[in-house]
A and B are shown apart, each in its own frame.
Chain A
Amino acid sequence: MAWVEVREVHKQYQREKQAITVLDGLSLQIEEGEFVALMGPSGSGKTTLLNLIGGIDSPTSGDISVAGTNIARLSGAELARWRSNTIGYIFQLYNLMPVLTALQNVELPLLLHKMNGAERRKRATFALELVGLGDRLGHYPRQLSGGQEQRVAIARALVSDPKVLLADEPTGDLDRKSGEEVLQLLERLNTEFKKTIVMVTHDPHAAERAHRLVHLDKGVLSA
C-alpha cells in the first residue's frame, strides 16, 4: 500500500438543501518521500482533498489511509491524536498564534506529547534553527515578515516529526523572494529529511519544485 492512499473518495457539501459534489470518486497514491504538487483552478477541490488527507475533514464515502492507518473511520478524538503524530500542516496565511512568540508557537504541538519543558524548548529551538530563524525565538508574529512567519509555521509543522507535510498554497501570500525561500526550505525537507510533502499551489513556478504534478479539475484528477 502507498504511503498516502486515497481510494474512490466522494465528498459532498450541503449548501441550502442542495448537495454539491466536490470530489467525485477520486483516487490517488503517494509514495513515501515524494514531493507532490497539487494544481487546479479555484474551487476545484484542492483544499478539500488536502483536508481529507490531513484528517481534518471526513469523506462522504471512500477510504483514505496514511502511513498504514485508515482514517476514514476514526472518531474525532482519535483523529486529533492521529493528526498530532502524523500530520504537519502549513497554511497559506501562516495561522500563528499572535500572542505567542515564535518559540512558543513551535512548542505548541509538543504540548500534546509527553515531554518536559526543557526537551520541548530544545526541539522547538532546533526546528527554528533549521528554518533559519534561530535568532528570532522571542519574536512575536507581528514582529516578523510574512516569509519569516511562514517559516515559523513550517517549523511548527515539522517539530513533532510528522509522517506527511501538507501545505495549502504556502507561497500564495508571499512576495517572489520570500516564496522562493519557503520553496527551497520545503525542497530541503524533502531531500535531506525525506519528508513526504503534498503542496497545493496555483503557481506553476512553485509546482516545478515537486517530483510530481497532479491536476485536479471538477473533482477528478486529470493527468
Chain B
Amino acid sequence: MLQLVLINLFRNPLRSALTLGSVLVALFLYSSLGAVLDSLQATADSGSRERLATRHAIALTNFLPYDYKDRILSIPGVKRVCTQVWFGGLIGGQRQRITQFAVDDDFWPMYTKDLQIVEWSEPQVAMSVPPDHDPHLAAYHAERTACIVGRGVMKKKGWKLGQTIHLQGTRYRGGWDMTIRGVYVKLPGGSWNEDLILFHNEYLVEKGMGGKPSTGVFKVELSDPSQSAAIATQIDAMFENSDNATKTESEQAFGAGFISMFGNVPFALRVIGLAVVFTILVISANTMVMAVRERTSEIAVLKTLGFTDGAVFGMVVAEAAILTTGGGIAGALLAKFGLQGKPLAFIPAMTITWATVLTAILIAIGLGMVSGFIPAWQASRLRIVDALRRVD
C-alpha cells in the first residue's frame, strides 16, 4: 500500500517536485531564522555563570566610572575585577566581523581558562610580568600600543606577528595604530571566539577618553562562585544611591541582556517563520486537494474493491506527509550544513542546534498531516455511487 502511495506521488512529478521544493525552501528559511536565534542564544550563553558582570542600571550604553573597580574589589569574596570596552573601529575603512575590546590588565588572568597565547613577541626591554599573568604577554605589557589578536583574525587578514595594524575609530575619533604582540586561540569550552582584537585600556583612556577612564562593564571574578547572588546584591547596594547606580548579574545573563538589545527581532523572526510555514501549508493543502480531485473515480474504484474509508484517508495523508517530510528534512539539513559556522553580521559563526533542525522536520511532518487532512477527509467521505455515476 505504501508502494501505491509512492506511485501516486510520481504520477505528476512536476507538481510533486514543486510542492517538495516549496516546502524545502520554506523549511530552509524557517531553519535559517532559527539559526539566527540559536546563534544569538549561543552568544548569550558564552558567558560564565560563575562570573558577574556589573553595568549601568539604566542602559548598557551608559558608562560607569573606572574607580568603581576598587570599590567592588573591596567587597569580601571578590577575587578580581576587570573592564572591557567595546571599541568598534573600522579596519581598512570597512566594518568587519572583527570585534575589538580595550581591556585592562586584570582581563588576562581572569580568562586564562578561555584564551591561550600561542604566538608571542619577545619583549624589547626587560619587563617583569605580574605573577598571575602568562609570561608570554611580556612584550604586550611592555608596549602601550600593543594588541593581542585572535588566530581567526590573523588567518582572515593574513597578518603577521609584529605587524602594525591601523584602525579607524568610530566612537573614539582618529586613527589608531597597534602592533600585534601575541596571538591567542580559544580553549575548549571557553567563552570568546577567535575573532577579537584585544588592546590596552590605558591606550583607549589616554587617546580616546581624555584621560578620564570609564567602562561599560566590569567583569567580576569570585573566590566562591556559590556566593554570586549575594555578592551581586552587595555590589548593587553599594552604588544604589550614587549618580551611577549599577546592575549586576551573571556574565551569562549579561550576554542575554545584550541580546535583548535587539528587542523584538527574535519575536519578529518567529512570526516571519510561522508566516512562511502557514503559506506552505496552504500551498501543499491545495496541491493535495487537486491531486485527490483528479483521482475521484480511482478512489471510488479502490473503495469498490474493498478499501475502507480509513485506508483511503491514510493513503492521502501519507502522500502529503511524505511530500512535506521529504522537503522539510532536505530544507532543515541544508540549513544545518550550509549555515553552520558561517558568519552573519555581528555573529562570527552561526550555530544551528539539532533541536532547531528537529523542530523544522516535525513542523514539516505536521504540515503534511494538516495539509493532507482536508483532501483525505474528502476522499474518505467520497461516495462510490456519486463518484462513478455517469449520466448516460
Contact = CB atoms under 8 A, between A and B. Distances in A.
Chain A bound to chain B: yes
Interface of A: 42, 47, 51, 54, 56-57, 76-77, 80-85, 89, 91-93, 95, 97-100, 104, 108-109, 111-112, 156
B301 A95 contact: yes
A84 B306 contact: yes
Interface stretch (B21-29, B129-137, B254-262, B307-315): B307-315
Closest 10 CB pairs of A and B: A84-B306, A80-B308, A56-B384, A83-B306, A95-B301, A99-B11, A109-B305, A57-B385, A77-B308, A112-B306
A97 B298 contact: yes
Nearest to B303: A80
Contacts of B7: 99-100, 104
A206 B307 CA distance: 31
B309 A95 contact: no
B392 A42 contact: yes
A112 B385 contact: no
A88 to B, nearest CB: 9
Contacts of A77: 308-310
B300 to A, nearest CB: 8
Nearest to A51: B385
B1 interface: yes
B66 to A, nearest CB: 78
Given A56-B384, A95-B297, A100-B7, A89 B392 contact: no
Interface string B70-111: 000000000000000000000000000000000000000000
Interface of B: 1, 4, 7-8, 10-11, 297-298, 301-310, 384-385, 388-390, 392
B306 A56 contact: no
22 contacts: A42-B392, A56-B303, A56-B384, A56-B385, A57-B384, A57-B385, A77-B310, A80-B306, A81-B306, A81-B308, A83-B304, A84-B306, A84-B307, A91-B301, A92-B390, A93-B390, A95-B297, A99-B11, A108-B305, A109-B305, A111-B4, A112-B307
Contacts of A112: 305-307
Nearest to A93: B390
A132 to B, nearest CB: 22
Given A77-B308, A80-B307, A156-B305, 7 more contacts: A51-B385, A56-B304, A56-B384, A81-B308, A92-B390, A98-B11, A111-B4
A39 B385 CA distance: 20
A80 B302 CA distance: 10
B216 to A, nearest CB: 67
Contacts of B384: 51, 56-57
Of the candidates B8, B302, B389, the one having the most CB atoms from chain A within 10 angstroms of its own CB is: B302
